[in-house]
Chain A
Amino acid sequence: MKRPTFDACVHVMKNTGGKSLLLQLLFIGALILSGVEKGAAQKRDDAGQALPKTITGQVVDSANGNVLEGVTIGVAGTQSGAISDREGRFTVKVPDGKPISLYVRLVGYRELRIPYSGSGNVVVRLPATTAGLNQVIVTGYGTQRKATVTGAVSVIRASELVVTKNENVINMMTGKLPGLRVVQKSSEPGAYDNVFDIRGMGNPLVVIDGVPRSSGDLSRMDPNEIESISILKDAAAAVYGVRAANGVILVTSKKGTRSLTGKFDITYAVNQSWQQFLNVPQGVDALQYMMLKNEKQKRDFGNNFYNQMPPSFSDADMELYRNGTLKSSDWVGATMKEFAPEIQHTLSVNGGNDKANYFFNLGYFNQDGLFRSGDMNYDRWNFRSNINAKITDRMRAQLLLSGYTDTKNQPGGRGIWEMFKYTWNQLPTDQIYANNNPQYPHLMPDNANPVIMTNAGYVGSQAFKNKNFQGQLALEYDIPAIEGLMARGMYNYGFNIVDNTLVKKSYSLFEYDRQNDKYIGTLVNAPSTVNRTYGNNTSTLYQLSLNYTRKFAGRHNVTGLVLYEESHATADNFYAQREFSLGLPYLFAGDAGNQLGSMDGNGLWETVNKGIVGKVNYDFKGKYLLDFSFRYDGSSKFKPGAQWGFFPAISGGWRLTEEPFFQRFVSPNILSNLKLRASYGRTGDDGATGFQYISGYNYPSPGYFFGGNYVNGMASRGVVNPDLTWYTAKTLNMGIDFDLLKGMIGGSVDYFIRNRDGLLATRTTTLPGTVGTNLPQENLNSDRTRGIEIVLTHRNTIRDFSYNISANVASTRTMLRVVQQTKAGNSYENWKNSQQNRYTNIWWGKQYGGQFSSYDQIYHYNVNTGGGNQNVVPGDYYYQDWNNDGVIDGKDESPIAVRDLPLINFGMTLGAAWKGVDFNMLLQGATDFYVQYAEQMAEPLMYGRSALTQFLDRWHTADPNADVFDPNTQWVPGKYPAMGSPVAEGTKAVQDASYLRIKSLEIGYTIPKKLLSHMGISNLRAYVNSYNLATFTGLKNSDPEHPGTVANGADWNYSQGGYKYPMNRTFSVGASVTF
C-alpha cells in the first residue's frame, strides 16, 4: 500500500467523517439483507432438488455435547464430503442406494468411521483424544484450535481466573500464564499498583474485544465478565504491528450461551473479604527512642571525640515517660487498622435461543483502606451487555456495550507514601494530641501528624473518578458465491472521563505550654483550596475484513484474512483551582484571588493509526501447519513519509503423532500428541519515540516576571533527529507440545529470542558541553531478550475424585548487544560501565565481609574502610577489599545480584473435585530476585526521626554513659551496628527476595441439584478463599514484592522510597447462586 492511494481515499471520504461509517455499515448491511435473504433460500431449494440423495446431520463433542464446527465428513471411497458449519450441521451427497461408510475427522478427536445405510439425520458424537487440544484459542484477529496453533500463545479461561480473588484482574493472572511476570507493589485501593510484562519485554499491548486499551482498563474489569485471556508472546503478535514488540494480552468477554429452548440463567455472586495488612513496620516507643537518639549523639565522632556534647535527652526528659506524665505515642496503631473489608457483588444474565443470545453483567466492588479514619476507600461499578443476533442465515450482528465507573477516595493534600513515611518516622515522644487532649491535634514537624493527615475531616479529601464506556457493533456476512468467505465490519467507540476533585483544607495544630497550661495553636495548610481536574479521551476504531475458511478435499484446511483497521484517539483536559474561605469546597464558592485555570499540555493530543492485516493459515490433515501473517502499519506519531512499516511473521508446525510411521514407533495411546513448532516475525514499539522529529520550541515553558507579570517561556527542543522511528523487534520462538497417556500428562516447552534494534541512543561522538546542545537521539542501540518456558500438566479422575495439576516455570533475561558509549576514565570504570554484550540489570556492590567485634580487631585491621578507620566502632560492617588495594571504596564494587523484576517465575495450580467439593490452590513464586530497602527500612533515626523496632537489636555500650571511642568500653553485640554507624551496603543490604507463596486457596461446595431444584435454583455454590495466605521467604521485615530501590536513575515513584502502601492477605467467603 502506498501513500498516494490513501491520499486519494482521503479526498473521497473527507466529508464523511469516522462516525458516519457506522451508519454506512448498517446501511450496506441492510441493503445486502434485503436482497440476499431470498437468494440464499432459493439456493438451498435448488440444491435439494439437484441431488439424488443427501445425508444431513450434526456433530457434537461426546463429552459435553458442544456442537463442533469445521469437522470433515467424507464418504469413504468417493470425493464427496462436507465440513460442519457453526451449528455443527453438515450435508453430504451420497450415491443413491449403496451402503456406504462415513468418516468423520477433526484434529484433536478420534477419527470415526460410521457405516450408514438408512436415511434421515445422523448425530455424530465425536470423542476427544485429548481435551486440551480442542480448546479454541483467541489469537490476533481470529481464533485457532490449540492443536493447530504454531505460535507461542498461552490462555486462561474464566474458571481458572476467578479462583484467585483480587480487586485487580492482572493480579488474578499471576502465576497462571507462563511468561507473564507480575509484581504487585501494593494493595492500595484503586491504585492498581503493579508492574507486569510478557517475557521481560516491557509494557505489552492490551486488547479487549479487539480494541487496544490501557492496562488500567484491564485491571478494572469485573473478572466475571471475562471469557478468556490469551497472551501472544512471539511473532503471533506481529498482526498488531508497530505496537506489538512487547507482546499482546488479548481479553475476550463472555457472550451468551445459545440454546434451542431459549433457556437463560440468572446468577448472583457475592464475595466478602477481610484484608489483613502484611509487614507493616512498627516504631520504637519513647524511652527506646530517647535511648537510641542519645546513643547516636554519643557516636558522632566529629562532635564527641575530644569534648563531649550533652546527650540529646536528659534524665529529666526521660523521667516524664517513666513516671507516666507523658505517654509514648503509638503512631502506627493510632493511624492504621489491622483489618479492612472488601466486597464484590455480581449479577449476570446469560441465555439465548437460536436467533439471539445475550450476556448481561452488573458488578459492584468496594474496598476499604487501612487508615483508621476510614477516609481511604475505593468503589467500582462495571456493566456489560453483549448481544449476538442471527439476522438471517448469512448475516449476524454483535453488539458489545460495556463500561465502568470508579471512585478512589483518599485524605487530601498529600501523597499516600507521605502518610506512611510520617507514620513510621514520627517520634514516639511527640504527642498525638497536645496534652493528650483530643480537641488539640499536636503540632509536628512538617505539619505531618499522621492521625490528622489521614483524616479528611481535617485536611480535606481527594476523589479520583473514571468513567469509561465502550460500544461496539459488528456485522458478519457469509458471502454466498464463495463458500467459506465471510465479510465483517466492526466499529468501536469508546471514551474515558477523568474527573478529580482535590480539596485541601486548613486546620490548626497546637503546642502545649505546660508551664503556663496554655495551648498555642497555628493555622496550617492555609489557604483552603479546591481543585477540579477534568479530562477525557475518546477513541474510535473500525475494522473491515474478509475472512475465508475452507477445507479442500477433506485434507487441506485453509483460513485467510484480509483486514483494514483504522483507529483515532484524542485527549483533552482542563483544571481549575480556587481558594475558599467559607466551608463550601466548590469552585463557585471560591475567593476571587489566586485563581488558577489551565490545562496539562501533555494531556492534549491526537493520534491516528491505520493498518492492513493479512493472515493465511494452512494445515494439511492437521499434520503440517503453516501460518503467515503481516501487518502494514501506519502511525501518526512519526514524520510524514516515514509513518508506515511492514511487519510480517511466519510460523509452522509438525504434529509427528499424526504420521503413521511415528505411530508405529510410539503408540498413540502413550504419546497422543507431539507437535514441533517455530515462529519468526517482526514487530515494532512506538512507545517512546512519538513526535520526536519536530523541532522548534515547547510552549509554554517555565517563564519569568517582566513588569510584575509572569511571561511564559519558550524552551528549545534542541537539535532533533527527523529520521527517528520506532524500535524494531525480531522474535524467534521454538516450542514442543506433547500429551501423554491420552491427555493425562501434557506439557510444552518454549525457547524464545527477541532481538530489538533501533533503541534510542545518542552517538558517542559526544559534543563538548560548550556547544550547548546534545546530539539528538537516534535509533542506534540494540538488545536481545532470551528465555525459556516450561509447562507441565497432569489430570486424572479416580471414580468421583478428579484432580489436576498444572505447573509452569519461566525465565528471561535481556542483554544489550550494541550500545553507544563513551570510554570511561580508567580501566575499572570502563569495565564496570561497559554495557556491550552484557546482561542488563546487573547489581553492583561491595562484598560484605563481617562485623567488627572489638577495638582490638579494628586496631589490627589493615584495610582502610574509607575514613582511615578512625571513626569505626565495634559492630560496624566491613567489606571485602575486592581489588586488594588496601582501601574500601567504589572500586571494590563487583556484580552481586540482579535488579528489578525476578528472572525466574513459577506457578503451580492444584485442583481437585470430589462430589460437590472443589479445591483449588495456586502456588506462586519467583527466584533470582533481589531487593534493597532504603530510608527508614535501612537506617534508624533517619533525618533525625524515629526508628523501626527491628533496629533495637543493635550494638551499644553496656553503660549508656560510656565513651564510645574509649577502647576499654564494654559493648553489647547486636544484629545491626551502633546508632549512627554507616548503613549497610553491597551484599549486606541487597537481600535475596526469592519467595514461594500460597497465592490463593479456595475450597468450595456445590449443593446437590436435587435439593434445590424445587426452589428454582439450578446451582448453588459456597466457598472460602484466601489470597496471599502464606509466604515462604528468607527476606526479613518485608514482603518480597514490596518494592525497594530500583536501578539507578529509575523513576522514584516506582518504590517511593519504600513508603508504599502494604500488601494484603485476604480471607474471603462467598457464594454464587444460579436461577
Chain B
Amino acid sequence: MKNKIYISIITILAVLLQPSCKDLNIDPLNVIQDKDVFATEAGVKGYLATIYRALPIEDFYYRQEGSGFNRQWEHFYHPGALCGELVGPYGSTYDGAGGFGYWPYGDIRTVNYFIGNLPVYGTGFSKEQVDAWLGEAYFCRAYFYFALAKRYGGIPIIRKVQHYPEQSLEELQVHRDKEVDVWNFISDDLDSAYNKMPAASERGRANRYVAAALKSRAMVYAGSIAKYGSENFVAGAARDQGYVGIPAAAAAGFFQRAWDAAKLLEGHYSLYRKKTDKELNYADLFLDKESTENILVRDYSLTTGTAHSWDATMTCRFMTADGLSRAYPTLELVERFTGLLPVVNADGTPRRFDNTSQLAQGLEPRLLATIYFPGATLRGKQFDMQRGIYEHFAGTAADELGQNPPNRQFRHLAGKTETLFNGMRIIGFTGISTDGDDLSRTGFYIRKYVDYNRAQSQCGLYMSTQSWIDMRYAEVLLNRAEAAFELNNIVDARNMINDIRDRAGAPLLTGTFTIDTVRNERCKELAFEKQYWWDLRRWRIADRLLDNTKYHAMMPYYIADEQKYIFLREFEPFQRSYNFEKKYYYEPIPGGELGKNPNLYPNNPNH
C-alpha cells in the first residue's frame, strides 16, 4: 500500500515539475528587418513608399501653420488665404507667417539610410536598378532640403546617417550651412537624380525629368532670393554670416540653372489641349488623370483612407453632401484677369442686370474655369448669389458705399435663407449671409480642381480622389519664362507666356513686357495651387502687397421695385486686414531645436 502512496506522490511531483510547454521567446509578427527590406524589390518599394509619403508636397491637405502636412479635412486653411488669393478662416497673415516648425530630419535620415544601405544589401540587383532607386532617393532628399531652404534659408546639411553614441554630442551639434550652399546642395542632388534615373517612371514616382522640373522650380527660387533678397532684407547676425541671404552676384547663375533645367523637359511634356472648349479644357486639366501636362502627381483613394475633401470644402454645402466652405476667391484675384468689372455705368450708378449670371459673360475661359461666378452651374444647381435686397436704389454706387451700414435704410440683409422680404428670399442659397462664413464672403467660389462630374452625394469629407498635380508643365514654362526674363531673354519669356495664354483662351501678348507681366501670368495660371504664398515671399514683395490690406467682394443685390440686379464692389464682410513683416521672409528656426543644439544660433533676423 505504502508503495502505491509513494508512487502517487512521485507522480504528483512529476506533474508539479511538469515541463513548461510554451516558449517565452515570441516575436511580434508585424516587424521586419533590414535584409528583408533592402534585398527584395517589394521591400525597397515599401521603403520608398514611406519616403514619398513624407515628401513635403503642398497638396490639398497642406496648410501653412498648425498641422502643416498632417492630414485634416479643413482644406480651406489654404495658404492663399494668408495673402490675398482668398479670404478665409485666417484672421491675418500672421496666422501662418511663422510656419509650423517644419524640421524633417527624421525623413532625411530615412533617405540617407537608404542611400547608405541599398548598395550593401542590394547586391542582387542590376546596377541600373540600384542607380534608378538611388536617383529617386537623391530626388527626395533634394525635395526635403528645398522645403527647408525656402522656409529657413541656411540649415545644416546632413549627408549621412549620424550615430550616437559612436559620434559625440559635440560632433552632432552641427552648425547651420550657408543659404547659398544649401541651394547648391539641392542643385547637386537633383543633378545626381537626373543622371541616375531613367527617362520614364511609374505614375507618382520621379524620373530624370521630374528631377529637372523640381530643379527649375528650386533654382528660380534661389535666383529670386539672391536678386530681390539683396534689396529687401532685415539685417542681423544670421545674414552677416550668410545663413540667410545669397549674394546678388549669384542670381544669374541660379536663373541660368533654372532655365537650363526647364529646357530639358521640352518635348517630353506638353500643355493639355484635349478639348476645344477652352473653359472646359482648362477645368479638365486638373481632373484628367491622363493629362500630358502632369509631371509629378500624388494619388488618393477611398479604400486606403487617403481621399481628401476638396469638393466638400471648396463649395458650400448647397452643392455637396457634407463639410463646408470657408475660403473664397478675392475680387482682387478676379481683377488680375479682368481689371475692374463693368458694374458701374459712366454716370456712377450701378449697372442693372437681368440676372446675376450676366456678370460672367465674355470673360477669359481660364478665369471661369478657375473661379465659379454667380449663376454658374455645378451638379445641376446654380450658384445662387445674393447679398440682400434693396427696396429701391437711387444714386451712385460710390455714394451708397460711403454710408455706414445703419444708414443704408433701403437695404435688407439676413443671416438665414428662410428670411423673406415681401415673399422674396433676402440672401441666396450660396451666399452672402450676415451670419458666419460657410457661404461665400466675396460672391465667388473656387472652381479649380473641383470635380464637377462627381455626384453631389459623393461630395462628402474624405471622399474626393482627384490627384494633386505637384508639378505640371505650365509651371515649368513659367519658371523658364521668369528665368529667361531675369536673364534678359525676353523673346523666350514671351514665347512661354503666350503658349500658356493661348491655352487659357487669353489674347496673346505683343506689346511691352515687364517682370510684372511674367509674374501676373504665373499668379493667374497657378492660382490656388499653393504657389502664391511662396512667390510673394521670394519676390520680396509681400511686405508691400500686404500692408494693412483689405480685400473686396462683388456683392449682388436685388432691387425689388425694379426687379433688376446690381453689383456693388464692397469690402468682404469680415473686413480683415492683412500685414506682412519683413522678418517673415524667413521663418524662425524652431525653438525646440535651438534648445537642443545651441550651434543653430544665430536665429534668423528679428526672431
Contacts and interface: CB of A to CB of B under 8 A. Distances in A.
A716 interface: yes
B7 A35 contact: yes
Interface string B149-173: 0000000101001101000010011
B97 to A, nearest CB: 17
Contacts of A9: 18-20
A445 B174 CA distance: 50
A570 to B, nearest CB: 10
A376 B450 CA distance: 39
Contact of B434 (A16, A312, A640, A704): A312
A713 B414 CA distance: 51
A530 B322 CA distance: 20
Contact of A316 (B317, B321, B419): B419
A302 B596 contact: no
Given A317-B415, A772-B162, A694 B28 contact: yes
A506 B11 contact: no
Nearest to A563: B16
Contacts of A705: 203-204, 298-301, 306
B415 A694 contact: no
Q: Name which of A10, A36, A314, A767 has the most chain B CB atoms within 10 A of its CB.
A: A314
B516 interface: no
B514 interface: no
B512 interface: no
A293 interface: yes
A703 B49 contact: yes
Nearest to B104: A772
Given A309-B575, A310-B413, A314-B415, A636 B436 contact: no
A14 B575 CA distance: 78
B50 A713 contact: yes
Nearest to B289: A708
B5 A770 contact: no
Contacts of A596: 303
Contacts of B405: 307-310
Interface of B: 1-2, 4-9, 11-12, 15-34, 37, 43, 45-50, 52-53, 91, 103, 105-110, 112-113, 156, 158, 161-162, 164, 169, 172-174, 202-205, 298-304, 306, 317-318, 320-324, 404-406, 412-421, 423-426, 429, 434-436, 438, 456-458, 460, 573-576, 590-593, 595-597, 600
A477 B413 CA distance: 90
A765 B4 contact: no
Contacts of A526: 321, 457-458, 460
Given A9-B18, A36-B5, 9 more contacts: A13-B19, A310-B405, A317-B419, A513-B425, A566-B22, A636-B24, A706-B52, A714-B32, A770-B597
Contacts of A523: 321, 456-457
B8 A706 contact: no
A700 B37 CA distance: 12
A36 B5 CA distance: 6
Contacts of A801: none
A1 B17 CA distance: 11
A705 B297 CA distance: 10
Given A38-B1, A481-B9, A703-B46, A314 B31 contact: no
Interface string A897-923: 000000000000000000000000000
A639 to B, nearest CB: 9
B575 A312 contact: no
B11 A31 contact: yes
A260 interface: no
Given A708-B299, A714-B43, A770-B156, A308 B26 contact: no
Given A694-B31, A696-B34, A766 B50 contact: no
B109 A773 contact: yes
A326 B419 CA distance: 10
B456 A544 contact: no
Contact of B421 (A316, A522, A714): A316
- From A24, A515, A525, A695, residue with most partner B Cβ within 10 Å: A515
A671 interface: no
A643 interface: yes
B91 to A, nearest CB: 7
Contacts of A447: 321-322
Interface in A283-325: 290, 293, 302-303, 307-314, 316-317, 320
Contact of B460 (A25, A303, A524, A713): A524
Nearest to B576: A302
Contacts of A11: 19
A314 B593 contact: no
Contact of B174 (A605, A710, A770): A770
A604 interface: yes
Interface in A516-532: 520, 522-527
Contacts of B205: 706-707
B109 A769 contact: no
Contacts of B419: 314, 316-317, 320
30 contacts: A6-B20, A18-B21, A25-B15, A28-B11, A35-B7, A36-B5, A293-B435, A309-B405, A309-B573, A310-B434, A314-B415, A317-B419, A445-B324, A477-B8, A514-B418, A522-B321, A524-B321, A564-B17, A607-B26, A701-B50, A705-B301, A715-B50, A716-B113, A767-B172, A770-B174, A771-B172, A772-B107, A772-B108, A772-B158, A773-B106
Contact of B317 (A445, A636, A771): A445
Contacts of A944: 436
A905 B216 CA distance: 68
A767 B174 CA distance: 11
Contacts of A825: 591, 595
